[in-house]
A and B are shown apart, each in its own frame.
Chain A
Amino acid sequence: MSNEKRIGVYVCHCGGNISDYVDVNKVVEEIKKEEPDAVIVKDLMFDCADASQSEMIDDIKKQKLDRVVVAACSPKLHETTFRNMAKRAGLNPFMLYHVDIREQASWAHENNRMGATLKALAHVRAGIAYVKSAEPLEKIKAETTRSVLIIGGGIAGLKAAIDLSAMDVNVVLIERSSKLGGHVAELGEIYPYYTAGSEIVKNLVDELSGRGNVAIFTNATVVSYSGYLGKFEVKVQRETSEITLQVGSIIVATGFDTYKPYTGEYGYEKVRGVITISELARVLSTAAGDGSAELIYDGRKVRQIAFIYCVGSRQKPPEDGGHANQYCSRYCCNAATSEALTVHRKFKDIKIYHFYRDMRTYGRNELMYESAGRSGSIFIRFDEDHPPLVAEEGNRCKITFWSSLIENQPVDMYVDLVVLITGMVPSHNEELNRALSLPVGVDGFYKEVHPKLRPVETNVTGILICGTSQAPRDVRETLSSASAAAAKAASFVLKRELELDPFVAFVDPGLCEAHQECIKECPYGAIELIEESGKKMAHVNSAKCKGCGACVAVCPTGAMQLKGYTNAEIKSMIGGLAR
């Protein structure tokens, strides 16, 4: 590489927006004076104007410029413009640096022209310092395998499989139990569309069957994985044999477990006639009723039912800092009102007393809440500190409650059945979590990188989460999140080749002393320890690296650096800014 650098510097007037407060001529003159490598230093009325861009392209070509600094407005507005210009001129776009002398200089310091000018000058110097040590960068290309592993054969897994297969992506779906459909398969009618859970599962399975690009393995679990986005290698245990799968991305859809009340919680397992909503759902899914039938449960004719909400959800944080399910399980208010409607529709003259804390029948489900009320349900609000008591008395369940709506005066009530509206808890997947190093949040559900920016992604790029493994959801929301995960996975594997940003970490082998701080710091597991010609050192997997630079900061020797922001580049910029 020749030492001679040919730099072009273009300082923008922005039609006065810069030049009114920044002495552009002075900047140009100073740079000309102090920077011999700056072959061209120009001021332009509008750097971004087409004519100016043509002028720059001409300069780059004719003057054989190999680095360019544009000093203009914020890079957020025009960095892409100028980088594209560089590309058109045949210059590596990353050999161009865009410095801000408008938002961060002229506009910020209108009352101090000298200060603004000096600041602009310093920023231009930093730009020059940067391009001097800059190296051309190319987007990283990574081949991907056009197949996706889906873990979990509940409705989320099934839906993701359907979507991906429809997008021409090969799918391997594994389920640890012997049958597909998960919890939903066991449910009766599901709000808000009154189709049986088993029916929904059947439709999904039917849609999936006969597709050539889907393989389904039941009784299968993940043993381990290696690789990275686009090229994962996953070992799967199937009954007796172990198989190895090559996939481009992994979707985790392992679902939830239902909360099991402890013995004695609202009389559970102690008082006859206390059951959970899942047990009621099972009873209802098999019971035929046309509105005149009688409900018999456990040999007892049921006339009055009490629903107790928020069992296992919205628990108070214990004083001693122990565990509690503080989250709301989201689906239960809706599911309970829906089950109540089913009861009212199938059986005659049954009163249901709903002991609730807040009715969370959000959105359209509010209508279901109202119609439950109009069909024979009565809603009684209770306070966190005054939960109802359940006891056995005679052949019935006695409920003593304190409703906050009537000043918490105790009232006794007798019912034939008590249904505990139990929430969702994260399913036990310790082995899987370990195998895939899946991040678990404080609530025990899988944690996404960011609920709004990257809602289905985990810290391991390419491993996605969806459905109720991530948070409590109802069927409709689960299907949506599964589709969203499918979309994300498709965007990883649909193109044979992935284009990734070039700003990734790299190791200077000469400096690395294998302190491994970077490995601990990396949130994406992108760094590993390798041995090269007898020397242990860190190695960055650029397909996993997101380019945050966290590793750079902790490296004791300065071996770990970020492309486009190398230590030399940053230091030279600091030097430029300080002058």
Chain B
Amino acid sequence: MSNVNFEPKILVFSTNMISDPGIDLAGMSHIDYPPSTRILRLPCSSMVRPEFIIYAFESGFDAVFIAADGGDCPYLSDCSERTARNVQRAVDMMKEKGIDQSRLRMAGICSVCSDAFANGVKNLYDIVKGLGPVNGSKNA
């Protein structure tokens, strides 16, 4: 059911101080990653409500990538752990809704981690490309 013409839409949650500069750097270095990614920046990744993630899938995104702060967060040294807990709750909610959990990915992206970001998004893109659109997977 994978479709060659299918372009998975990925929503990226980034953070003002840490991962957004990292994503900027990917652009500055002209590192290639799928243009169907959309980026939304927040203060800290621990703010991502599971509800936002579900809402993204419901709005038509096929995957969500959380570019978390890692240990560099200016707010919280344990923000990764907090984000991971929220992500786990989102995964539970996704299960209930029948959304494949591999559509959600979280990775620590620092302000110069352009490669890590591009690779992470590409990888997610490939996986989701295989899975097909999010509403399609419900039927599968």
Contacts and interface: CB of A to CB of B under 8 A. Distances in A.
Q: Is there direct touching of A and B in the complex, by C-beta distance under 8 Å?
A: yes
A164 interface: no
B92 interface: no
A118 B20 CA distance: 20
A374 interface: no
B55 A126 contact: no
Contact of A578 (B28, B60, B76): B60
B40 interface: yes
A76 B37 contact: no
Nearest to B111: A76
Contacts of A100: 24, 39
Interface residues of B, number: 47
Given A546-B75, A553-B47, A554-B86, A571 B37 contact: no
Contacts of B35: 105, 108-109, 112, 114-116, 118-119
Q: Is the interface of A mostly helix, strand, loop or mixed?
A: helix
Interface string A39-53: 000000000000000
B11 A578 contact: yes
B28 to A, nearest CB: 6
Interface string A251-278: 0000000000000000000000000000
A79 B126 CA distance: 34
B31 A108 contact: yes
Interface stretch (A5-13, A310-318, A357-365, A562-570): A562-570
Nearest to A575: B59
Given A553-B86, A574-B56, A548 B38 contact: no
B43 A565 contact: yes
A552 interface: yes
A577 B38 contact: yes
A550 B38 contact: no
Nearest to B46: A550
Chain A, interface size category, equals: 35 or more
B47 A549 contact: yes
B104 to A, nearest CB: 14
B70 interface: no
Interface in A101-121: 102-112, 114-116, 118-119
A555 B56 CA distance: 18
Nearest to A448: B77
A103 B23 contact: yes
Interface string A65-86: 0000000001110000000000
Given A100-B24, A115-B35, A552-B49, A547 B43 contact: yes
B79 A548 contact: yes
Interface in B10-36: 11, 20-21, 23-28, 30-36
Contacts of A115: 34-36
A549 B43 contact: yes
Contacts of A552: 47, 49
Interface of B: 9, 11, 20-21, 23-28, 30-44, 46-52, 55-56, 59-61, 73-79, 82-83, 86
Interface of A: 74-76, 100, 102-112, 114-116, 118-119, 122-123, 126, 449-450, 453, 503, 521, 523, 546-550, 552-555, 558, 562, 565, 567, 570-571, 573-575, 577-579
